[in-house]
Structure 1
Amino acid sequence: MNQWEEVQKLDVGFQEQVANLYKNLPMELRHVLATWIESQDWETASTHEPVAVVLNSSLLTELEKQYSHHHSLLHRHMLRRIKEQLQETYKGSPLSMARDIATILSEEKRIIAMAGEMEQGSQEMCKQSSPVPERHKHIDSQVAITSFRLQRLDQEIKGMVDMQDDFDSRYRKVFSGDLANGDPECQKQETVELQMIFNELDSKRKEVLAEMMAVIIDIDVLMKSVLALELKDWKRHQQLACIGGPSSTELDQLQNWFTITAQSLFQIKRQLDKLSELGSKVTYVNDPVTQQKAQLEEQVIHLISHLIKSSFVVELQPCMSNLSQRPLIIKTMTHFSSKVRLLVRLPEVDYQLKVKISFDKDCPPQGSRHFTMLGKDEKVMDVEPSNGCLSAEFKCLELKSVNGMKGHEVRQTHNPSEGFLTVTEELHAISYQAQFCMQGLTMDLETSSLPLVVISNGIQMASGWASVMWYNMLTDEPKNLSFFSSPSSSSWSQLSEVLHWQFSSSVGLGLNREQLSMLGNKLLGPQTSYNDCQVSLAMFCKEHLPKRTFSFWTWLDSILDLIKKHLQPLWMDGFIMGFVTKESEKSLLEGREVGTFLLRFSESHLGGITFTWVDNCSEGRVKLSSVVPYTKSRLPMPFANIVCEYKLIIDGVLIEPLKFLYPRTPVEEAFGKHCITPLVEGNASALTFPYVHSDLLPISILPTTKLTDSPHPVMPAGSPWSPNLENILDDLLNDNEMCNL
């Protein structure tokens, strides 16, 4: 493979770098004489004028050979123009031409090498990460090939213009009688040549139109089989990202493909306009331009319209500013924002697209609440400096109910087939409209947000988020507002992945296999395998757990809230085992040293965490003790301080029962770095306010009577302390007694 063939296989970005080298030297010359040019010593010729003179003469000779060997009028015309351009550019200075060619060949090698290094690096990344970059590279190649073919078509059409001008000039000569002395023989010869030019012109029109049709078909396939699927895949990733899944960063790449494809289509439209001009000057019976131009233009306009309309997307789904991790839930009279983007980047439409936003443009199901949207509902799309995209972001929008509902009401809407839907199962949508105008084309653009839930009170948040998770987990439909009239069930494998996302996105660390297995047990009971078990929406967030007054999701969401606000550093370090049943903790702690403890979430208290420790080991029996679960209202200090400073009073003696975090990590080693050090004497505050320093200590009081065999001793009514002292301790300790869970 010669160097020029390697250049033609480069990605479009590198080809553009090569094209910029040909400012003086015609690129057509490089193409026609590629092998010969690369076989000459241009480096020597660039510094030795005698060698440059010889190479210049040889180059012109090679051009003459090409001219004589080709019978195509267009090719011969191109070669003649190359020769004229060389003579005009270098004007008898072969040394300058040799320098230009030497520089171009050297730069081509450098660009080829750089492209090779990048390709090798991309391949290594593909091996280390995923096959997606390889797929993207294939699409880049398809888009680049289309662009390159259209550049060649531009050159072909330019040659046709020159050929037609030549035909027109000869035609006027022949039929104006302006030939030398009206010589019949000369006129006959001119007529023959004129016919040859006409035949070549007709053939070239057919070739150009055939190639144009082939490019249009390829673009159609690219849009339907590649770009449409890539866009659908991005939208699905966006849905899953809304409920905590991995976010997609491919929108800039999509914009690049959409933009180049749109530019190609508009380039074809301009080429058709140019062919139409040629046809208006010279036409004839069975003229291919007259016969095919209208059909091709109709196809191109259809593809442009489809591409532009599909490129209008919601980049950021509606989200309240104070709740960015839970989009698609909007609380009435609370600010929220949203952002739309046009994936086709064309300078001609910058700052011209005005987007209008509306709420529930397509009416929601019968019986749903109605809202009016407050805030600026129109905005002109701007170019973002960071990535050059065309977008419009709507901020400080609000929803106001027009039903006269009060904030605390939990209204239900009737569904004839399924009974009643709660307000958090009502789905609404925001629509965005714009009008695109370019090169005589006008089209209406419209897109819509994913279905969203509107709440009027914070107590509806957990239920609303359950609806958002359920919808986006189970369907990729962009706007099925009746979904909850008959919601599908989820497999445990689907649901467990989403629950893992809730923890990883909200508190930084997801759930491991053991934790998910325990959750499956809690929701579905003991199973050999949970993956294929089905979970209904009612099981997940409506029905109460056995012997509890709350649902599975309400319990889990309260734990998420507790971790996020009070326990995140400990959760991130893996110190909280969390989802462990009482039965499991006994088997884990059995045989462990006295003072070994673990942290788990309460099964009976919403948003509660407790610690259970090995209290005593005698006669082969392990005695465990647990503290009353700490909830948000019972956390006066960081939980790490509570664990490190926890005291137990037994028969008036103060002891520290927590020694080792399961399996055997000293408590100070695990929790010391997370403790907040109290103020000490001698600091500025102590000097200004010379009070005696005091601490709030987490203490439990154990009864004086002999411990029972129960693994969780119960606090008796009495206490070894005097009534006054016990009351003082009760006030200070915030009722942190020992109890059964």
Structure 2
Amino acid sequence: MAMWIQAQQLQGEALHQMQALYGQHFPIEVRHYLAQWIESQLWDSVELDNPAEEAKAKRLLDNLVAELQRKAQLQGGEDGFLLKIKLGHYASQLKSTYDRCPLELVRCIKHILHSEQRLVQEATNVSVGGAMDTLSQRHQQINQAFEELRLATQETENELRKLQHSQEYFIIQYQENLRIQAQLSSLSSLPPAERTQRETTLQSKRATVEAWLTREASTLQKYRLDLSEQHQKTLGLLRKQQTLILDEELIQWKRRQQLAGNGGPHEGGLDVLQSWCEKLADLIWQNRQQIRRCEHLTQQLPLPGPMEELLSKLNSDITDIISALVTSTFIIEKQPPQVLKTQTKFAATVRLLVGGKLNVHMNPPQVKAIIVSEQQAKALLKNESTHSESSGEILNNNCVMEYHQATGTLSAHFRNMSLKRIKRSDRRGAESVTEEKFTVLFESQFSVGGNELVFHVKTLSLPVVVIVHGSQDNNATATVLWDNAFAEPGRVPFIVPDKVLWPQLCEALDMKYKAEMHSGRGLSEDNLVFLAQKAFTSSSNNPEDYHNMTISWAQFNRESLPGRNFTFWQWFDGVVELMKKHLKPHWNDGAILGFVNKQQAQDMLMSKPNGTFLLRFSDSEIGGITIAWVAENPNKPGERLVWNLLPYTTKDFSIRSLADRISDLNHLLFLYPDRPKDEVFEMLTLFYGNAGVITGNVSGRFTTPNPEPSGGTPTFMDQTASPSVSHPNNFGVYPPMSDAMLDADGDFDLEDTMDVARHVEELLRRPMANQWSSQQS
């Protein structure tokens, strides 16, 4: 309700714009009397392009109607009688209007709420400190320019009317002159005396009229030239305003849309852009009609001078302006997925921002979607190819544009497209199929002004990478991320730099990470230093050392990391997937340090009490996380070692959560630096209530390794109890593990040894189940 209270405070043009949002499609009285209810509903949670969401929209409609009926019943007394009838009528009206298309009701209300929010924000364009923010300043400049254009257009309209009035009077006087000449010609039949008298009078009158016509012709010519100059100035202002909106604001919106593909803030402001483009279209069309009327007046009364050439130039210029506006405002509102898998349904939405204003919907155009290669896209933009040749076959690729009266938008919603097949080009050098870029081309044709102008419009989607199997998704995502992050506006498709500064890549990785974690906790400076060390095989801990370093695409996702069989991106993406699917809450509450190498973990833990542990990402395995903890060396009393478990992966966490696994290991006491693990992981599960007893019993049922470290080198062990808390009298279930059983990183190789962790899980689950059953019985 807070938004509606603010909306009612609007004044002037903003108030008119707010009132214009309402009508028979959604009465303003409904907004007023159900303000609190309307603003409390989750309208944005409904995906308008997803038919499966219709049931959710139907529930919202039914609830809205029920709420209106309830409100109507509450009205009593003489004053409330009419309101009761009116609200009941609105309930029936909304039910009948949207019952078969409930998603349209959601679209309508979302548009109203977003528009109100925009108007309120624009009206409150002063920041807390009293200074106007940059966005508000820019919007104010655009709105001021529109006001200047409106006044200029009104002025030329007034001048045009004056010219028309003056020309009509000139024509009347011209006809009078012709009538006088005709009278003079007819005097020959009169007697000489009478002819002379009449002739003198008529010639005097003709001389007066001709003198006036001569003066007025000069005046008319001046009016026309002045009006032509005014139109030239207005066209200059229109061009400037259009350049600002299309080449700056719209390009920035498209850039935000592209960065949203990497997890950036969701692109907003399209309704604002549409309102600006519609104002442009309206003003351009008014000026075009004025120029056409000037041409008609000139043809009606030809006068010596350069008017024909001037008007022809003006007509050509304004046609170019409106052509640029229409072709540039055919945009992709909802991009197709940038990693596009064959034989998989996908959706997209295109929108013509000026469609409603130019009445294009009176003869709804059809839009066609085809997929084209990078080379074909280049040829299209260079106008080297007028025929749009396809590089594949998209099913359900034709759609008619629909006009939504409530929002004033003209758009085509492709809901069930599917890429049936793809034709790949010859790849260059080391380029893989997941580095090959395509784009979805949307094209349409329509006319405006009674077929006066015919437009063939095209727009290209963001680059897409076509895959045929889910195993290609990782590398395809790398191509998309690099392109989205580093593409320059107006580039030749789809050129991106081969090398970028490391801080630039850090920004892209942080954006991606924060988006996947759905929180403000992104990558810290220490995290980024860790990643730099991995990417550049460096040991420097100084962030400044990496600020001027560049990283190439090959280093990012073509060349494997030293001693590994995976690339930098594949490792990072594995971490993101693991965290997103299983460990997001633990990252967001700070329980996982993650980006810490083994040496750093040792240095951090050796200064802490025994049982202190931390969670770090595995260096040796994609999408793995390991637990490192400090404990006594069982072979050398008084000596402490840092132990590391073999990494857990998404497969492990699909079986048992991280919190449960940590609860099973009773030698883990404090999460680094000193947080009791129970408080951190909130192990309030059925099993955790008995974890101390069960884990204590089970931990003694398998042996710990008997390492012989030299020189204080940290030793790494499998998922086992710490030596300091295991029970020696129970050792001997498994033989001691020799150094030969360790992998290259010092972790136990599960392929050559028994998977102790799985065995322990089996031991844990059975006693737990039995224990719980016995307790229940």
Same fold (TM over 0.5): yes
- Equivalent position of 2:336 in the other structure: 318
CA distance in 1 between partners of 2:499 and 2:274 (Å): 36
Inter-CA distance 401–155: structure 2 relative to 1 (3 Å threshold): same
Partner of 2:402: 382
SS at match of 1:614: strand
CA 124–723 in structure 1, closer or farther in 2 if over 3 Å, else same: closer
Amino acid at match of 2:354: V
* Pairs within 5 Å for 1:51-200: 121-124=124-127, 130-177=133-180, 197-200=216-219
* Corresponding residue number in structure 1 for 2:443: 433
Rounded to whole Å, the distance in 2 between the matches of 1:646 and 1:712 is 21
Question: What corresponds to 1:642 in structure 2?
Answer: 661
- CA offset at residue 235 of structure 1? 2.5
- More moved, 235-244 vs 694-703: 694-703
2:268 counterpart residue number: 249
Q: State the partner residue of 1:568.
A: 584
CA–CA separation in structure 2 for the residues paired with 1:273 and 1:513: 63
Distance 2:131 2:561 in 1: 44
CA distance in 2, matches of 1:256, 1:337: 26
State the distance in 2 between where 1:714 and 1:612 align: 10
Percent sequence identity over aligned pairs: 27
- 1:111-147 Cα offsets, whole Å, 9 max, x none, are xxxx999877313279789523212221222232112
Deviations 1:642-674 (A, max 9, x none): 22x223xxxxxxxx222222222222222117x
Task: Show structure 1 runs of 5+ residues with no match.
Answer: 1-9, 21-114, 320-327, 404-410, 648-655, 682-692
For the 8 Å contact 2:373–2:437, the answer to whether it is kept is no
How far does residue 500 in structure 1 lie from its aligned partner after superposition? Answer: 0.6
Deviation (angstroms), 1:445: 0.9
* Contact 2:298/2:308 (8 A) holds in 1: yes
Corresponding position of 2:7: none
Deviation digits for residues 141-169 of structure 1 (CA, Å, limit 9, x no counterpart): 22321122102211221222223333333
- Report Cα offsets for 1:701-732 as digits up to 9, x if no partner: 67478775654354699993575999999765
Alignment partner of 1:631 out of 646, 649, 664: 649
Structure-2 residue corresponding to 1:79: none
Name the amino acid aligned to 1:505: A
Match of 2:730 among 701, 705, 720: 720
List per-residue Cα deviations over 1:397-450 (Å, max 9, x = no partner).
2223367xxxxxxx99543xxx24211111112211111311201121111112
* Structure 2 stretches lacking a partner, 5+ long: 1-9, 21-117, 185-197, 379-388, 721-727, 737-753, 765-777
Give the alignment partner of residue 514 of structure 2, picking from 499, 504, 507.
504
Q: TM-score, normalised by structure 2?
A: 0.67
SS of 1:429's equivalent in the other structure is: strand
Report the equivalent of 2:462: 450
Asked if residue 520 in structure 1 is aligned to residue 532 in structure 2, the reply is yes
SS in 2 for 1:333: coil
Distance 1:433 1:299 in 2: 25
Q: 1:541 to 1:184 in 2, by over 3 A?
A: closer
Structure 1 residue corresponding to 2:344, chosen from 327, 330, 334: 334
Contact 2:487 2:495 in 1 (8 A): no
The 1:613/1:386 distance shift into structure 2, 3 A limit, reads farther
Partner AA of 2:328 in structure 1:
S
1:422 aligns to 2:432 (yes or no) = yes
Q: Give deviations 1:166-216, integer Å, cap 9, x for gaps.
A: 33334434543499x968777766666555554443332222111011111
| Structure-2 change in CA distance of 1:281 and 1:516 (3 Å) | same
| C-alpha spacing 1:384/1:560, structure 2 compared with 1 (3 Å) | farther
- Aligned mate of 1:473, from 454, 468, 485: 485
Greater Cα offset, 223-232 or 694-703: 694-703
Q: Answer whether contact 1:596 1:661 (CA < 8 A) is retained.
A: yes
Alignment map for 1:583-602 (pairs within 5 Å): 583-602=599-618
Aligned to 1:401: 421
CA contact (8 A) 1:427 1:481 kept: no
Q: Which residue of 1 aligns with 2:46?
A: none
Deviation at 1:266, TM superposition (A): 1.4
Contact persistence 2:719–2:757 (CA under 8 A):
no
Please give the alpha-carbon distance, in whole angstroms, between the structure 1 residues aligned to 2:358 and 2:698.
Answer: 66
Q: Which residue of 1 aligns with 2:565?
A: 549
| Residue identity in the other structure for 1:165 | E
Evaluate the alpha carbon distance shift between residue 384 and residue 559 of structure 1 in structure 2; reply closer, same or farther with a 3 A threshold: farther
- Shift of the 116–714 alpha-carbon distance from structure 1 to 2, 3 Å rule, reads closer
1:735 Cα deviation from its structure 2 partner? 8.3
| Letter matched to residue 227 of structure 1 | L
Rounded Cα–Cα distance in structure 2 between residues aligned with 1:421 and 1:728:
39
In the other structure, the counterpart of 1:558 is 574
Q: Secondary structure at the match of 1:628?
A: coil
8 Å CA contact retained: 2:703, 2:734: no
Q: 1:128 to 1:386 in 2, by over 3 A?
A: farther
Paired residue for 1:218?
237
Q: 2:367 aligned to 334, 341, 355, which one? A: 355
Q: Deviations over 1:11-52 (max 9, x none)?
A: 9946989xx9xxxxxxxxxxxxxxxxxxxxxxxxxxxxxxxx
Deviation at 1:571, TM superposition (A): 1.4
Distance 1:278 1:642, change over 3 A: same
Q: Does 1:733 align with 2:760?
A: yes
CA gap of 1:266–1:731, structure 2 versus 1, over 3 A, is closer
1:608 aligned onto 2:608:
no
Taking a change above 3 Å as real, the CA distance of residues 197 and 316 of structure 1, as seen in their structure-2 partners, is same
The 1:573/1:555 distance shift into structure 2, 3 A limit, reads same
Taking a change above 3 Å as real, the CA distance of residues 190 and 376 of structure 1, as seen in their structure-2 partners, is same
Structure 1 residue 270 displacement after superposition? 0.6
Quote how far apart the aligned CAs of 1:698 are.
9.2
8 Å contact kept, 1:543–1:551? yes
How many residue pairs align between the two structures?
A: 587
Give the equivalent residue in structure 2 for 1:305: 323
- CA positional deviation for 1:380: 1.7
Pick the aligned partner of 2:277 from 258, 261, 275. Answer: 258
Query: 1:699: Cα distance to partner?
Result: 5.4
User: Is the Cα contact below 8 Å between 2:177 and 2:206 reproduced in 1?
Assistant: yes
Aligned twin of 1:296: 314
CA spacing shift, 1:365–1:301, aligned 2, 3 Å: closer
> Is the alpha carbon distance of 1:201 and 1:146 closer, same or farther for their aligned partners in structure 2, counting shifts above 3 Å?
same
Per-residue displacement from partner, 1:599-626 (whole Å, max 9, x unpaired)?
A: 1111122211122223249998643333
Aligned counterparts of 1:435 and 1:630: Cα–Cα separation in 2: 56
Distance change in 2, residues 1:413/1:372 (3 Å): closer
Quick one: which amino acid aligns to residue 460 of structure 1? Answer: Q
1:276-295 residue CA offsets vs partner (Å, 9 max, x unmatched) = 22223333222x54342111
Query: Does the 8 Å contact 2:368/2:398 carry over to 1?
Result: yes
1:277 aligns with 2:286: no
**TM-score if structure 1 supplies the norm length?**
0.70
In the TM superposition, residue 507 of structure 1 has moved relative to its aligned partner by 1.9
CA deviations over 1:477-519 (Å, ceiling 9, x no partner):
66756759xx611221111111111111112242111111111
Secondary structure of the corresponding residue to residue 730 of structure 2: coil
Q: Is the 8 A contact 1:612 1:624 kept in 2?
A: yes
